C-alpha cells in the first residue's frame, strides 16, 4: 500500500510528534510517512526532534505576518507544495482561519487532552479535577471551525486518582496520547475509518491491545 504523506503542525515540545515519528519510522507496514513538520514557533523543541529524524522542517513565525489570515495563507501554500494527504496538529497553539480549515477539510486531525466534547480549551486537567471526574483521557478528532470540535476518530481513557494534581493527571493523559495518536492516524491513513458527512465510518477493524476502547 502506498503510504499517505503526512504533515505535522507543532508549537512546542513535540512529544506527540515524536510518537508519530516513531510509529511511521519503526512500525512495519505503518500506512503513513511524515514528510514535513511545520511550526509557528521557530524555537519549538519539536523542530529539532523532526530534523534529528531526517524530516524536512518549516519554521514560519506568525509574529512576522500582519494578520492571522496572511500567516495561514502562507502556511497553507507551503503545506500544499509538500503534496500532503493528511495534516496532523500536535500541540499547535494557533486558532485556524475558516479558509484554512476548509482547505484541509476531512484531511486534518487534532489531538486534545480530554474526552471531548467535555473540557474543550485550555487548563483541561485543572477543570477535570475541579469537576470531580473519575475518568479523563484524550481525543483525536477531525478539525472543524469551532476549536476542539469535529468528528471523533478515536479516544483513550485514563483514571483520575484521588490524589491527582493537574501535573500528575497531565502526565497520565500524555502517555495515553502517545498511544492514541499513532493509532488514530493509522486508522485514517489505512482507510480503516473514513470521515463522511461529519460522521466517522468504520470500514474494517484495526484493533490493537494498547487501545482497548478504540472504535476500530
Number of residues that bind ligand GRF (CB under 6 A): 15
Peptide bond before 25: cis, by omega within 30 degrees of 0? Answer: no
- Positive or negative, the CA dihedral 139, 142, 145, 149 is negative
Nearer to ligand GRF, 170 or 192 (CB): 170
CA distance 178 to 193: 19
Q: Output the nine-digit C-alpha cell for 154.
A: 478515536
Q: Which residue is nearest to ligand GRF (CB)?
A: 91
Does position 166 interact with ligand GRF (CB under 6 A)? The reply is no
| 7, 31, 91, 150: which one binds ligand GRF (CB under 6 A) | 91
Spatial CA neighbour of 75 closest among 85, 91, 49, 87: 87
Q: How far is the CB of 1 from ligand GRF (least distance, A)?
A: 27
Q: Which stretch binds ligand GRF (CB under 6 A): 9-17, 55-63, 96-104, 198-206?
A: 9-17
As annotated, the active-site residues are 112
Cα–Cα distances (Å) from 216 to 110, 113, 137, 187, 193, in that order, read 18, 20, 17, 7, 8
Confirm if 213 and 155 have CB atoms less than 8 A apart.
yes
Please give the residues from 104 up to 163 whose contact with ligand GRF meets the rule CB under 6 A. 111-113
x/- map, 19-58, ligand GRF, by CB under 6 A: ---------------------------x------------
Q: Retrieve residue 202's grid coordinates.
A: 468504520
Q: Does 96 bind ligand GRF (CB under 6 A)?
A: no
Query: Closest distance between ligand GRF and the C-beta of residue 95, in Å?
Result: 13
E strand spans, 20-90: 32-39, 57-59, 86-89
For position 182 contacting ligand GRF by CB under 6 A, the verdict is no
CB of 114 to ligand GRF, least distance (A): 9
Tell me which residues touch ligand GRF (CB under 6 A). Answer: 10, 12-17, 46, 90-91, 111-113, 174, 177
Amino acid at each position: 500500500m502506498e503510504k499517505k504523506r503526512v504533515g505535522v503542525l507543532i508549537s512546542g515540545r513535540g512529544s506527540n510528534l515524536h510518537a508519530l515519528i516513531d510509529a511511521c519510522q519503526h512500525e512495519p507496514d505503518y500506512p503513513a510517512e511524515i514528510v514535513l513538520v511545520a511550526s509557528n514557533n521557530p524555537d519549538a523543541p519539536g523542530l529539532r526532534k523532526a530534523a534529528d529524524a531526517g524530516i524536512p522542517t518549516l519554521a514560519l513565525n506568525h509574529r512576522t505576518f500582519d494578520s492571522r489570515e496572511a500567516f495561514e495563507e502562507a502556511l497553507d501554500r507551503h503545506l500544499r507544495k509538500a503534496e500532503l494527504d493528511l495534516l496532523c496538529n500536535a500541540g499547535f497553539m494557533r486558532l485556524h482561519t475558516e479558509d484554512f480549515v476548509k482547505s484541509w477539510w476531512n484531511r486534518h486531525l487534532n489531538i486534545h487532552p480530554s474526552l471531548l466534547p467535555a473540557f474543550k480549551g485550555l487548563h483541561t486537567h485543572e477543570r477535570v479535577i475541579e469537576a470531580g471526574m473519575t475518568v479523563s483521557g484524550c481525543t483525536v478528532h477531525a478539525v472543524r471551525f469551532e476549536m476542539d470540535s469535529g468528528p471523533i476518530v478515536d479516544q483513550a481513557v485514563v483514571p483520575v486518582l484521588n490524589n491527582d494534581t493537574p501535573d500528575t493527571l497531565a502526565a497520565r493523559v500524555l502517555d495515553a496520547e502517545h498511544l492514541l495518536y499513532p493509532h488514530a492516524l493509522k486508522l485514517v491513513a489505512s482507510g480503516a475509518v473514513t470521515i463522511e458527512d461529519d460522521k466517522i465510518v468504520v470500514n474494517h477493524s484495526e484493533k490493537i491491545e494498547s487501545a482497548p476502547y478504540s472504535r476500530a
